[in-house]
Amino acid sequence: MNPDRTSPPDPTRAPDRTRTISRVLFWLALIGATALALMPYPPHLPTDRFGDKFNHVLAFAVLAALAVPAFPAMPRLRLIERLSFLGAMIELLQSLPWVHRDCDLRDWIADTLAVIVATLVTAALVRRKAS
């Protein structure tokens, strides 16, 4: 059955499009953040002037904000746990000598707090938009 190309877009398809776009952006952001975190000599970023913790908070807040609409069926606590685990794994990998980075527990704490706040705020905004 061929859909009529002149018919208006189906509003029930918007969440599917939002989910798909959010998923693509989430995976791109995850790959980019992980690559930057594990580069032995990462490039200088404009946000470096705000400090290392700012970059951690920014990266993980963006990941969480994208993950909420990307994975709407995933329980929020599981989403927080998985992104927090990602932050812990990055810190663990940074402790390897050949990575030439520093492992810092405070970075993981910053990642986790950013994930919690961004998940709660984004979930509230998504709920508000749905009602």
Note down the domain range covering 111.
Answer: 14-39+52-130
Number of domains comprising the chain: 1
Q: Tell me whether residue 47 is in a domain.
A: no
The whole-chain average pLDDT of the chain stands at: 89
Let me know the angle formed at the C-alpha of 34 by 29 and 40, rounded to the nearest 5 degrees: 135
In the structure, what pLDDT confidence band is assigned to residue 2 with cuts at 50, 70 and 90?
Answer: low
What pLDDT shows up at residue 88?
97
Q: Distance between CA atoms of 59 and 49, rounded to whole angstroms?
A: 15
**pLDDT at position 116 over 60:** yes
Q: Tell me whether residue 103 is in a domain.
A: yes
Phi, psi of 97 (to 5 degrees): -60, -35
Q: Tell me whether residue 32 is in a domain.
A: yes
pLDDT tens across 71-105, in order? 999 999 999 999 999 999 999 999 999 988 889 99
Q: Tell me whether residue 83 is in a domain.
A: yes
- Contact of 56 with 103, CB cutoff 8 Å: no
Higher-confidence position of 48 and 62: 62
What pLDDT shows up at residue 12?
45
Q: Tell me whether residue 4 is in a domain.
A: no
pTM as predicted: 0.85
- Contact of 57 with 114, CB cutoff 8 Å: yes
